[in-house]
Structure formats: C-alpha cells, structure tokens
C-alpha cells in the first residue's frame, strides 16, 4: 500500500509540476496512505496486488523515454497482465490504458499484456485444470449489479455527482477569487466528511463513494471539453472502480486517498506557487495531516475487524496460531483458536476441514487449506456447476479419512459473544455437506467433529 501511494505521488508530482520540498511530499504520501488503508481490515488481498501492478505500469508508462519506447511499453503491459492474473476485474483498466496512451498500434503492448496470462493458463492446463479455469472465470454473473447498479442506486454516489457538477459550474465562473473561496470551503468540507467517516464509521465506504461521484463529474466535464488534465483522474477513478468489482467488498475505498489527492489539485485549492511559500497552505496541510493521523489511530485502536478494541486484546495469538507471533487477541478468540489447536493435535493423523469462515487458520504453508475455495461460501460458488465441483472434491477428501470440524458458534461475532450457529441457515457448503452426508463422532467446547 505504501508503494502504491509512492508511485501515484511520483506520477502526480510530474504531471502537476509540484514543489519538491520533502515535507510537502511526506504529507501527501502519508495522508493518502492512511486514507487508502482506512480502518477496514488491512488484509493481503489479491486486489491490493492488482492495484500495485497497475500503479507500477502507469508509473513506467508516464516516464517513457523516446529511445526506450518499446521496452517501456512492453514492461507497462506486462505488469497490467500481471494485475489481471491477480484479479480479472482489472481487465477494463488495461484496455482503457492501451487506448488512452494510443499503444494499440504497437504489437509489444499486446505481447506484454497476454504473455503472463497465457503462460499461467498453459501451465494450469498442463495439469488438467483448464476446465476449472473456464468454470471459475465464467461463474460470476453479478458483475453488472456490482459495477453499475451498485452506484446508480447509491445515494452517496449521487450526492458526490451533484457536488462535482456544482464544483464544475463554479470553476466555469471568471472570478478567480470567488472560485478560490468556494474551492477551499468545498474541499475542507469534504475532508471533514472523510474524517467523520474515519472516526465514526466502520470504514470509508460512504466517503469513498462520494469522492468517486465527484471524480466522475470532473471526468465527464473534462472529457466533453477535451481537457488533457483529466487523464490522471480518469485512470485513478477507473482503477478504484476496477478494484471495487467485488461482491464481497464493492467500495472504491482502496484508492480513496489517491482520488482525494487528485481532486485537491483538480479543484485548484492552492496553486503550485502557494504550496511552496504560502503559510495558509502549510497551516491547513499540517492540521489536516494531524487530524488524518488522529482519525486513523483512533480507528485502529477502537474498531478492529471482528475483534474487541486494542485495550481488550491481551492474549498472545502466536501461542495458538502459526505465524501469529507478536499479535494480540481477545479471550474469546484465543479460546477458539486454542480449541482448534487441540483438535489438530488430537486428530493429527487426519486432515481437518474447519468451517465456516476459518480460512485464517491455514496461515502455515505446510498446512494449506484442503478445499478448492479458501473461503467457501455460497457467495464464492455462485452457480450450480461450481457447487457440484466443490462437493465432488469434498466427497473425495472425506473418503480419504478427512474430518470436518463445524463451529458451534457464529464466527463473525465470536470475539463479542457466543452466538449459536444456525446450521440449517448457514451459507457454508461445507457445513451443509457435514450435516447431510456425515455424522458427529466427537465434540469439543467449540466444535462438532463430523466423519463420513
């Protein structure tokens, strides 16, 4: 995430000819980083990897030298191809990039873009997995709902769109002093809204959608007027949209900091000269910077994903979970993981499949998740063909003396309370399989052990 912001700030600095004072760049990078990470669980998602590779690609493409055009184009699209391997929803970003920079005339752009995906599909196919690749890639049928309907019906997106249209109308006025006053008020109000979301909300979902809507207004207006300055805002907003093409987390908040940073320059809150010498700019920047740090710190201490606040995390996770060294957890979660550790030792001769939603216990590379889906839920297996394929693999695993450990309690609320898991309404195919095809052979404090 730090690298993503660093690459974008380098691109922005070159594009807007920003002053090179270290404190300006430091404030921009740290503020954008904290807003990108926000207070949602900071996980090693494949989405984050995809954003990183897209950012590297854009950095390379915007730093092209005439004498190394071919190499730069090839490397640009090689990284874009790598981002598509991480998450197929980055495909639109790759195709818009190839059109935007007019690289469709170069064969090296296509070669770079297709090289790694072709090698990957060929490698998988050599092991007989081509059918699985096709099945997985064609399974998701709700992409239009996530990509378009989700925004068109979102009140916060519409709010952002109308705010953006208002800003555009103000910028069309000739009075530069009037523009400056309004832009300052709007941007400060937007920053306060983001900080409020950071302090009070569970994540930056609302504010990121508002910022996305404002960016869309700017992009539409500038495309109509054929203004080249829309390029970075277009690419950052498109990248945010591509990263949000997910049923699990459909918000453009992973680029929230970058989009807000670009709006700061597009709204012309301060001129480049003012950024160098204006004490008002320095004061406003420092106050904003400190408030963002305060908001981020407060969120990280009080709103831990599926856990209690930090003061209540007093148990060492490393004692019960591989690779958990140096991390603290709550008493409930510790007790759950201690029970899992007990089950693994008691049935060490058997492969244990834990359900539902316990993918995090497979953090040890020597103990990988045995199932096809690392997070087996109906959401991840959206069609009948995938469900049948998954059940066939479960059947194969159970015939090889595997055991299924089904939680007695709802995992998402385990840190706060022991809420009984309703097996009949569970969205986990593993839980349903255990209930319908297996029998209980053992029981611990937190789990029922099923066997074929």
* pLDDT (0 to 100) of residue 305: 80
- Domain end, chosen from 243, 277, 302, is at 302
Residues 351 and 294 in one domain: no
Q: Which pLDDT score is estimated for 307?
A: 87
Tokens standing for residue 308: 């209690």
Contact call for residues 15 and 228 (beta carbons, < 8 A): no
Pairing assessment for the beta strands 315-316 and 403-407 based on DSSP bridges: unpaired
pTM: 0.87
Q: State whether 280 and 384 are in the same domain.
A: no
Q: How many CB atoms lie within 10 A of CB 228?
A: 8
Position 185 scores a pLDDT of 83
Residue 309: inside a domain: no
Which DSSP string corresponds to 46-67? HHHHHHHHHHHHHHHHTT--GG
Q: Which residues of 158-167 are buried (b: 16+ CB within 10 A; e: fewer)?
A: ebbbebbbeb
Looking at the fold, whether 251 and 196 belong to one and the same domain comes out as: yes
What is the reported pLDDT for 418? Answer: 93
Q: Is residue 336 domain-resident?
A: no
| Average confidence (pLDDT) per 10 residues, the chain, 452 residues | 92 79 79 83 82 96 78 94 93 93 91 95 92 80 77 88 88 71 82 86 84 92 77 92 85 91 80 63 79 87 85 91 88 94 90 88 80 82 85 91 93 91 90 93 96 92
Residue 313 located in a structural domain:
no
Structure tokens at 443: 């029981």
Domain hosting residue 398, numbered range: 341-451
Q: Are residues 6 and 99 in the same domain?
A: yes
pLDDT given for residue 174 in this prediction: 60
Q: How far lies 211's CA from each of 57, 205, 292, 301, 356, in Å?
A: 24, 10, 16, 25, 35
At which residue do the structure tokens 């937007």 appear?
Answer: 190
Which SS3 state, helix, strand or coil, does residue 354 take?
strand
**Domain presence at residue 7:** yes
In a domain, 221, yes or no: yes
Q: Are residues 31 and 158 in the same domain?
A: yes
For residues 442 and 372, membership in a common domain is answered with yes
CB 209 within 8 A of CB 157: yes
C-beta neighbour count of 2 within 10 angstroms: 12
The predicted structure's pLDDT at residue 347: 92
Number of compact structural domains in the chain: 2
Please tell me the distance from the alpha carbon of residue 251 to that of residue 146, in angstroms, as a whole number: 9
**Closest CA relative to residue 339, chosen from 403, 401, 438, 405:** 405
Residue at 326 is within a domain: no
Q: Estimate the crossing angle of helix 91-100 against helix 107-126, to 10 degrees.
A: 160
Same-domain check for residues 273 and 395: no
Residue 372: HSE in the Cβ half-sphere, 13 Å Cα cutoff = 22
pLDDT at 335: 95
Q: Would you state the pLDDT for residue 92?
A: 93
């Amino acid at each position: 995430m730090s690298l993503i912001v660093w690459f974008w700030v380098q691109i922005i600095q070159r594009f807007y000819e920003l002053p090179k004072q270290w404190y300006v760049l430091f404030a921009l990078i740290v503020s954008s980083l904290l807003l990108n990470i926000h207070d949602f669980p900071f996980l090693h998602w494949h989405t984050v990897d995809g954003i990183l590779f897209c950012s590297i690609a854009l950095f390379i493409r915007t730093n092209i030298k005439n004498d190394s055009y071919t190499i730069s184009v090839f490397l640009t699209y090689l990284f874009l191809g790598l981002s598509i391997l991480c998450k197929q929803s980055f495909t639109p970003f790759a195709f818009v990039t190839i059109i935007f920079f007019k690289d469709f005339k170069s064969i090296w752009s296509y070669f770079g873009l297709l090289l790694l995906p072709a090698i990957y599909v060929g490698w998988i196919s050599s092991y007989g997995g081509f059918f699985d690749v096709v099945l997985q890639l064609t399974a998701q049928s709700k992409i239009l709902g996530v990509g378009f309907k989700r925004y068109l019906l979102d009140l916060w997106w519409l709010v952002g769109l109308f705010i953006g249209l208002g800003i555009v109308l103000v910028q069309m006025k000739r009075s530069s002093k009037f523009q400056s006053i309004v832009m300052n008020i709007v941007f400060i109000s937007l920053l306060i809204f983001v900080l409020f979301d950071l302090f009070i909300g569970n994540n930056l979902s609302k504010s990121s959608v508002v910022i996305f809507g404002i960016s869309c207004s700017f992009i539409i207006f500038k495309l109509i007027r054929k203004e080249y300055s829309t390029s970075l805002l277009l690419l950052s907003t498109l990248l945010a949209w591509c990263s949000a093409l997910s049923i699990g987390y459909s918000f453009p908040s992973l680029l929230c900091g970058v989009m807000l940073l670009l709006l700061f320059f597009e709204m012309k809150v301060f001129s480049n000269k003012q950024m160098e010498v204006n004490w008002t700019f320095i004061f406003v920047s420092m106050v904003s910077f400190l408030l963002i740090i305060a908001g981020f710190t407060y969120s990280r201490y009080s709103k831990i994903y599926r856990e209690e606040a930090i003061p209540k995390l007093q148990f060492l996770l490393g004692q019960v979970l591989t690779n958990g060294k140096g991390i603290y957890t709550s008493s409930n979660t510790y007790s759950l993981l201690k029970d899992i550790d007990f089950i693994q030792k008691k049935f060490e001769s058997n492969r244990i499949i834990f359900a539902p939603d316990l993918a995090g216990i497979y953090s040890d590379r020597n103990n990988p998740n045995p199932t096809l889906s690392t997070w087996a839920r109906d959401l991840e297996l959206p069609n009948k063909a995938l469900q049948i394929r998954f059940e066939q693999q479960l059947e194969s695993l159970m015939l090889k003396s595997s055991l299924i450990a089904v939680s007695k309690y709802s995992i998402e609320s385990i840190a706060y309370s022991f809420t009984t898991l309703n097996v009949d309404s569970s969205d986990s195919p593993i839980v349903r399989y255990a209930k319908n095809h297996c029998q209980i052979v053992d029981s611990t404090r937190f789990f029922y052990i099923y066997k074929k």
